[in-house]
A and B are shown apart, each in its own frame.
Chain A
Amino acid sequence: MIAPLLCCAALAAAAGDAPKGASESIVLQGAEVDAGDGNVFKPGTVVITDGRIAAVGPTASAPSGARIVDCQKLVLTAGLVDAASQLGTFRFEGFSEQASEVIPHLDAADAIDYFSKDFEKLVRDGVTTIYVTGEAASVISSRGAAVKTGGPLPGRKLAATPCVKVTLGLESSYRGSANGSPFRFGDLTFNARRPTTRMGSTWVFREAFHDALLFKQQGKTDADPAAMKALLDVLDGKVKLRFQARDVADIRSAQRDCDEFGLTFAVEYGNEVGECMDLIAAKKIPVIFGPARDGDGRAARFESPLTAWRTPKLLAEQGATFCLTASEGTGDTGLARQAGFAIKNGLDRARALRAVTADAAAMLGLEKRIGRVAEGLDADLVLWNGAPFDDTSRPVLVLINGQVVLDADGRLRKENP
């Protein structure tokens, strides 16, 4: 075990010393390569040039002058991708925009804190890209934003398919009552307009889309025109929609709401999708499932909807489009652990890897950039010291755009090389 780790340390030093923009190639040799697209090379070779994967296979020819790194006894996968993260932002005062329940014109990219300590935790978990999803405080929330978890700032942001988040259930309506009843204490603020019930949340959604259609017909609106334009983009299919819907009742509500306006949607979190698999299968609803937690078998949310550990297995059997998310979890509840839970409860290992890499990337429309170990994709790679997602394994080297962000000594590298 010692020899390959030392090699990785050498790589870390090599990558760190390389002048910026150098087109020097790095060859990772000898690791078991699980490409995430069905290809497994034991051992395999990965060639990295200019931050991208130049070649992958059982034997790839090393360009002249390339640094060759021995990675024997390690397992190499693509960096993990979380398609519904709540990390990496200014939380509290920074992220949730409370001034309106309908903010599809806002962009979570403006709420990202690139220097958040969250990114360090994510890198240690082997997560190299997160999609920061809209905040649940608004019924129709903002667009999300995909960012890499490390490396120089210019390469951090990714152009994911634009997608607006809608929140049904207690997380949008609960905030209304949590904000107090302003009429008792003084003037009404915009907090008083919040829905405080499930019925109210659905009403906000339907009213907003009706307003958008009226805006299209009449060219004017009493609502925020920027928000209405953004909703018309959703109706035109230019912007996708996802619903945070944990309970069966909310998932069924989401379907009714979308049917009314001819919309399609993905389910985010969807703790109880296992209870309405018929609907998921019939409507081919993509699911971003999770997070599951150790010990309870259900999420400790307001209503504790049932998070059945076997749901990923059921989704796979149904042929559903799905990926896994850790939401705000890291470490013990992080994304690697989510894949581990799914494997323990019957999901095939290869599918579990895809559910936190390639399938998550595809959910974001980023399958041509990230999520697999394949030629032309970004060199976002994780080297594990054992079978990925086993409790006895951890990432020992993480690369983003071909640069070491977590080295073999467990040190994070943030600075520009």
Chain B
Amino acid sequence: MLALSMAVALAGAPIPAAGSRPPAQGGTLAIKVEKIVLPDGKLGDGGWIVLKGGRIEAVAAKEPPANAALLEFEHGVASPGFVDPATALGAAGELSEPARAFTPEVSAGDAFDADHSEFKKAAAGGITTVGLSPSSSNVVGGRLAIVRTSGEQGVAVLSGPGPLRFALTSAAFDGDRAPTSRMGALPQLREMLAAKKLEAPGPCLVDAASADEIRIALETFESAGRQVALLHPNGFADADDLLDDVLKKQAVFAVVGPYTLSSRERDLALPRRLAEKGVAVAFTAGGNAAKLRLTAALAVRSGFASDRALQALTSVPARVLGLDDCGTLEPGKRADLVVYDGDPLDLASAIRLVVVGGARQERKAPDAAAAGKENP
């Protein structure tokens, strides 16, 4: 418990800003774009997006409010900031605690290094929120920390406990540590779930690779009344239709990726397959923005619907992290947005602007003319 309470205390206090910039203008900022990624993942007509006090005040407004600082992007497409739900940003190598197989008390926030340059890169690439997750080496690995990659306060861990990470893959079992097997682990896991010792916001993030690991994850957590986000369920296709009954009982998330041009077609087809079965897909690329967009583009190439792909980069991972204040461009949500000069899923589109929590990120435009006209 000590570790946990320390994490909460740490998360409660604003963490010193690292590499943060004050917003270019105080007060209200209005951004004009041609198209907007809607909450349903489709591209809708643009207009003025009004940001105030770190929140979105209006979307697709006809006119900007008076006294607002204005930014216009002639062919701009505004997307919610990307959310990568399972990363080790700024804490690689520090997120595996092999002392015990059940470590619900540990928190990834304790391994968090706000000064790490990876956060800056992620923010510059359009990732505005990441889940910093314990590794898959434990059956119960511990709590995720939700990190805003930038903002007025700089890189910061969101206060309060994050979701819990679990693993039922072979990585969670070690011959020198009890339990050494799934058979040994499951009774203990069920007991802890039943005794409400594993309460957390959002779904349970569970590593489950093979078809049967997916089955046991769904059954174990569903019978405890908990939602599941399957991490890297690569064997999902092997289950054929046999998991249909289990999937009908609950809303299920899946976190997949990253994909590269050398990924197998079988893996690339996974998002489509999951979507066909009603599973909400989120992409992860370990917090690497370029890989995250490539992952989405390759999934679309293999038949995943493009509206789903945009949701898989934004609103679905936000829900995986138990967040309801980001992931879509809607009034009242956090002012996390990215402006591209084309469809975000088209890798030829470049980023023109990143806003994290209302704070504009510095962006070196390859061509000043294309970077948008700024109203002094």
Q: Give residues in A with beta carbon < 8 Å to B.
A: 90, 93-100, 103, 105-108, 110-116, 142, 152-154, 179, 189-191, 226, 414-416
B159 within 8 A of A: no
Q: Which residue on chain A has the smallest CB distance to residue B176?
A: A189
Contact (A153, B215) CB under 8 Å given A191-B176, A414-B242: yes
- Cβ contact within 8 Å between A111 and B242: no
Contact (A94, B211) CB under 8 Å given A154-B245, A191-B176, A415-B242: no
Q: Which residue on chain B has the smallest CB distance to residue A114?
A: B212
The 8 Å CB contact of A103, one of B182, B184, B244, B246, is B184
Residues of chain A within 8 A (CB-CB) of B246 are 153
Of B177, B184, B187, B235, most A-chain CB atoms within 10 Å:
B184
Of B183, B187, B246, most A-chain CB atoms within 10 Å:
B183
Residues of chain A within 8 A (CB-CB) of B176 are 189, 191
- Cβ contact within 8 Å between A153 and B242: yes
Residues of chain B within 8 A (CB-CB) of A103 are 184
Contact (A190, B182) CB under 8 Å given A115-B235, A415-B240: no
Interface residues on B, range: 20 to 34
Residues of chain A within 8 A (CB-CB) of B212 are 90, 112-116
Q: How distant is A51 from chain B, measured CB to nearest CB, in Å?
A: 16
- Cβ contact within 8 Å between B179 and A97: yes
**8 pairs, CB–CB < 8 Å, chain A vs chain B:** A90-B182, A94-B181, A97-B179, A98-B175, A115-B211, A115-B242, A152-B245, A226-B187
Q: Which residue on chain B has the smallest CB distance to residue A154?
A: B245
A391 to B246 alpha-carbon distance, docked (Å): 41
Q: How distant is A294 from chain B, measured CB to nearest CB, in Å?
A: 32
- Cβ contact within 8 Å between A416 and B184: no
- Cβ contact within 8 Å between A142 and B245: no
B186 within 8 A of A: yes
B178 within 8 A of A: yes
Residues of chain A within 8 A (CB-CB) of B227 are none
15 other A-B residue contacts (CB within 8 Å) besides A96-B180, A415-B241: A93-B181, A95-B183, A97-B181, A97-B183, A98-B175, A108-B183, A110-B182, A111-B181, A115-B239, A115-B242, A116-B212, A153-B246, A154-B245, A415-B242, A416-B244
A99 to B245 alpha-carbon distance, docked (Å): 34
Q: Which residue on chain A has the smallest CB distance to residue B172?
A: A93
A108 to B186 alpha-carbon distance, docked (Å): 11
Q: Give residues in B with beta carbon < 8 Å to A.
A: 170, 173, 175-184, 186-187, 210-212, 215-216, 235, 238-246
Residues of chain B within 8 A (CB-CB) of A106 are 183-184, 187
Q: Which residue on chain B has the smallest CB distance to residue A106?
A: B183
The 5 closest A-B pairs by CB, nearest first: A99-B178, A97-B184, A115-B211, A98-B180, A111-B183
The 8 Å CB contact of B240, one of A112, A116, A414, is A414
- Cβ contact within 8 Å between B183 and A93: no
A301 to B59 alpha-carbon distance, docked (Å): 73
Residues of chain A within 8 A (CB-CB) of B245 are 152-154, 416
Residues of chain A within 8 A (CB-CB) of B173 are 93-94
A113 to B181 alpha-carbon distance, docked (Å): 13
A93 to B177 alpha-carbon distance, docked (Å): 12
A46 to B176 alpha-carbon distance, docked (Å): 54
The 8 Å CB contact of A416, one of B170, B177, B178, B241, is B241
Q: Which residue on chain B has the smallest CB distance to residue A186?
A: B176
A113 to B186 alpha-carbon distance, docked (Å): 14
A93 to B101 alpha-carbon distance, docked (Å): 14
- Cβ contact within 8 Å between B184 and A152: no
Of A93, A106, A111, most B-chain CB atoms within 10 Å:
A93
Residues of chain A within 8 A (CB-CB) of B170 are 93-94
Q: How distant is A151 from chain B, measured CB to nearest CB, in Å?
A: 9
Residues of chain A within 8 A (CB-CB) of B242 are 114-115, 152-153, 414-416
Residues of chain B within 8 A (CB-CB) of A179 are 175
Residues of chain A within 8 A (CB-CB) of B241 are 415-416
Residues of chain B within 8 A (CB-CB) of A112 are 212
- Cβ contact within 8 Å between B181 and A115: no
A205 to B211 alpha-carbon distance, docked (Å): 36
Residues of chain A within 8 A (CB-CB) of B211 are 114-115
Q: Which residue on chain B has the smallest CB distance to residue A108?
A: B183
